[in-house]
């Protein structure tokens, strides 16, 4: 089985191929303003390296959000443009699920946090369940202090990851009164390599839809809609 996956939810875009169980990934520079310029050339390079075309794919996958509104739209448009002419469905996976499952070893809570600006984050709390990390809360768009309160109530400490993890680690540790571990730079962004593996392994949070029905997952209304009421 060959699966092509993409993530454009944060500052670093990535694409990956799963070929008979082995994942091959490419990552862009950390500049979400250039996703529209870099994503498809990066995908083209990855396919060419393995002598493949879009028609050779058995499946397509996308990180559907939450994250950057513009980035999510770019990734969704790209994957739909490949899958729709081929009559292929798209596996949509939450960006937070991808981040949480990038942490291989953790005891207790795993807490991916994506920056939503103004001391707000997109997040959920996860625990290991067999081979996967699964959410034990709803997906949330909340303030950092509210997240600290939740972690304090858990009382077990947490491993945090995602692009907001380093900027908020000290506050979360102080306000929650628990040990907050951050594995570092390699776990700031959702990985398309993890995405295609989740699809291959049958992660329970996958939503498979017709290409025409695939849409980004937002936890709040995009700014343009808030400003102009559209």
Q: How high is the pLDDT of residue 33? A: 86
Residues 57, 1: Cα–Cα separation, whole Å = 8
Residues 225, 214: Cα–Cα separation, whole Å = 20
- Give the total residue count for the chain: 230
Helix (H, G, I), strand (E, B) or coil at 139: coil
Residues 201, 158: Cα–Cα separation, whole Å = 25
- What's the pLDDT tens digit per position in 138-186? 999 999 999 999 999 999 999 999 999 999 999 999 999 999 999 989 9
Torsions phi, psi for 81 (to 5 deg): -65, -30
One-character DSSP codes across 38-86: HHHHHHHHHHHHTT--GGG-SEEEEEEESS-HHHHHHHHHHHHHHHGGG
* Domains of the chain listed by start with CATH number: 2-95+190-228 (3.30.420.40), 96-187 (3.30.420.40)
Helix (H, G, I), strand (E, B) or coil at 125: coil
Torsions phi, psi for 103 (to 5 deg): -90, 110
- What's the pLDDT tens digit per position in 23-65? 999 999 888 889 999 999 999 999 999 999 999 999 999 999 9
Q: What is the pTM of this model?
A: 0.94
Torsions phi, psi for 30 (to 5 deg): -85, 75
């Amino acid at each position: 089985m060959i699966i092509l996956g993409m993530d454009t939810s944060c500052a670093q875009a990535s694409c990956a191929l799963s070929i008979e169980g082995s994942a091959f990934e490419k990552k862009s520079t950390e500049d979400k303003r250039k996703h529209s310029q870099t994503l498809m050339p990066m995908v083209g390079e990855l396919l060419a390296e393995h002598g493949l075309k879009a028609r050779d794919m058995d499946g397509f996958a996308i990180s559907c959000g939450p994250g950057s509104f513009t980035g999510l739209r770019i990734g969704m448009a790209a994957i739909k443009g490949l899958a729709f002419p081929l009559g292929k469905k798209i596996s949509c996976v939450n960006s937070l699920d991808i981040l949480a499952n990038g942490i291989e070893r953790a005891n207790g809570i795993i807490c991916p946090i994506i920056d939503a600006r103004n001391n707000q984050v997109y997040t959920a709390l996860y625990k290991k369940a067999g081979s996967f990390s699964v959410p034990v809360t709803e997906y949330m768009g909340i303030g950092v202090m509210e997240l600290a309160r939740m972690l304090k109530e858990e009382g077990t400490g947490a491993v945090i990851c995602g692009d907001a993890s380093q900027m908020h680690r000290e506050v979360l540790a102080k306000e929650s009164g628990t040990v907050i571990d951050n594995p570092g730079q390699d776990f700031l962004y959702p990985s398309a390599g993890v995405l295609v593996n989740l699809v291959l392994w049958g992660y329970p949070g996958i939503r498979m839809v017709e290409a025409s029905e695939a849409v980004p997952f937002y936890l709040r209304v995009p700014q343009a809609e808030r400003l102009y009421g559209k």
